[in-house]
Structure 1
């Protein structure tokens, strides 16, 4: 699920919660329980505000989550002491709601801190088993987001692709380059690497934001895909530096790829940054050169041209 879909889902849930509170207030009015109308009537506009904040700037996302959390806490604080039949529901709502709205660390700390408050509010309704069940819920409910974070970290560590674009990450690039060097030596083939530097990348991020940065990276990857062969490999060496590994490619072949890629990038015009500016340099594996020496030479070349 994309980030935009997450935002819309959260905002939709906040709107739904506001509608439920409006329905609860109307129900209290219909049954004549007028003393309980005020709280849901006041919380519903707050939840609508939180939903609108969630749809706004990314900086307001955390504030909207805290606003929803405060609304939930107020509702539980009012309903828990007076609802004997629904005591398990109201008691279990705060820790689950906290884990859904906040990161794991702050959520667990807040749940443990507020445990005495919820147990005191429901003291007249709780028995020993229910209190132990609440404490177990606080601890066990944290295992699900912890496992999700663990799986994300594992996927990030094993995924060869870069986080921002379709190039492979630096560690995977070095491993593949060493394999290609060994393969070229074993089969007596030539190996070329095209060093690509994007001088506009830092400027695009600082002046136009993350959207322009992603557009620039996407343009580079798409252009490389069009101008290279299926078995060529694009990897990200640095923030704005890329290596295009060209197996079994002569010097003339590398020059042709370099020229074709440079012309394609120059003809690409983006909304924020304009024409894509790039610096391209080709390096070739020397006869009998070790993979470590070739890698070192590539890194020196990349750094020298990035600083020029």
Structure 2
């Protein structure tokens, strides 16, 4: 949902920029400045095209960003030499626009590469202080996206939850399972793991897009949460493979959970993919078995499920 809102926001901003260019072209016409009408009149349809491309697949979304960037560069190249009072605004627009539309690394490289071009276009309007201000803006503006990437990497390193669903990620799953194995051995308790495979997941993403993929993952996680206990743990082992860790659970208890899950998932019907198909296998920790060997058995079970 957040990704969809982000996509619509970008498309709306591109469309708003196109509207502003239409207004600018109309203003030039009203004031009789006919020589400056052509460029905004040509750029407006390009921005509308970029807005439509932003709503498409990820490949077209990337192309839309480059298209908007080219339109912005052309507009700045036209306006910068003619603006004396607004030179700082037009000079500062390219680096900020580049950082908003491109990843941090390519954006910084492009900003530094194009610095001589913008300074050359505005050479009649610039002084040393303004040129130094431009270079400072290029460097300082890059700090904000850098800090965002830094905080995101810290969050990903510390957040145990998977990025696409409510299951915990693979590294956290292995750590928790290792602890549960040691706990079961120490307290002489039983430990079961339900191995779940979603064969529809890859097809859902390829044929119906990321929305259907997220819906399928969400349906699985919600159903598991309803059919399991509070201290049971669902983790994502692979793209379409999940482990449901069942502490202090006997073979008969694990079988009951498996049957309950199979029935609940079969009743779950999604708009794009239909009934949710799963392959479930229950595995049990053997007496004296090491956590590493148990995980190897679980991974071998996953491979058998993937191979059908």
Judge same fold: TM > 0.5, yes or no.
yes
Going from structure 1 to structure 2, the CA distance change for 1:144 and 1:177 (only over 3 Å counts) comes to same
Q: Aligned ranges for residues 147-186 of structure 1 at < 5 Å?
A: 147-186=147-186
Going from structure 1 to structure 2, the CA distance change for 1:207 and 1:86 (only over 3 Å counts) comes to closer
Higher mean C-alpha deviation, range 23-32 or range 125-134:
23-32
Residue 300 of structure 1 corresponds to 300
Residue 210 of structure 1 corresponds to 210
Q: Aligned ranges for residues 52-71 of structure 1 at < 5 Å?
A: 52-71=52-71
Q: Tell me by how many angstroms 1:207 deviates.
A: 4.3
Give deviations 1:114-134, integer Å, cap 9, x for gaps: 111111111111111111111
Residue 231 of structure 2 corresponds to 231
Q: What secondary structure does 1:244 align onto?
A: strand
- Alpha-carbon distance in 2 for matches of 1:205, 1:232: 28
- Alpha-carbon distance in 1 for matches of 2:209, 2:10: 24
Q: Tell me by how many angstroms 1:246 deviates.
A: 0.7
Q: Tell me by how many angstroms 1:282 deviates.
A: 1.6
- Alpha-carbon distance in 1 for matches of 2:115, 2:156: 34
Q: What secondary structure does 1:124 align onto?
A: coil
Q: Tell me by how many angstroms 1:162 deviates.
A: 1.6
Q: What secondary structure does 1:193 align onto?
A: strand
Q: Tell me by how many angstroms 1:205 deviates.
A: 3.7
Q: Tell me by how many angstroms 1:153 deviates.
A: 2.0
Residue 255 of structure 1 corresponds to 255
Give deviations 1:53-95, integer Å, cap 9, x for gaps: 3234433222222222222112211211121111111111111
Q: Aligned ranges for residues 258-269 of structure 1 at < 5 Å?
A: 258-269=258-269
- Alpha-carbon distance in 1 for matches of 2:277, 2:34: 68
Residue 201 of structure 1 corresponds to 201
Going from structure 1 to structure 2, the CA distance change for 1:63 and 1:291 (only over 3 Å counts) comes to closer
**Pairs aligned (count):** 308
Residue 41 of structure 1 corresponds to 41
Q: Tell me by how many angstroms 1:239 deviates.
A: 2.5
**Normalised TM-score (structure 2):** 0.91
Higher mean C-alpha deviation, range 176-185 or range 42-51:
42-51
Higher mean C-alpha deviation, range 199-208 or range 165-174:
199-208
Unmatched segments (≥5 aa) in structure 2: none
Higher mean C-alpha deviation, range 82-91 or range 49-58:
49-58
Going from structure 1 to structure 2, the CA distance change for 1:304 and 1:46 (only over 3 Å counts) comes to closer
Q: What secondary structure does 2:146 align onto?
A: helix
- Alpha-carbon distance in 2 for matches of 1:37, 1:213: 46
Unmatched segments (≥5 aa) in structure 1: none
- Alpha-carbon distance in 2 for matches of 1:127, 1:215: 57
- Alpha-carbon distance in 2 for matches of 1:25, 1:286: 77
Q: Tell me by how many angstroms 1:274 deviates.
A: 3.1
Q: What secondary structure does 1:243 align onto?
A: strand
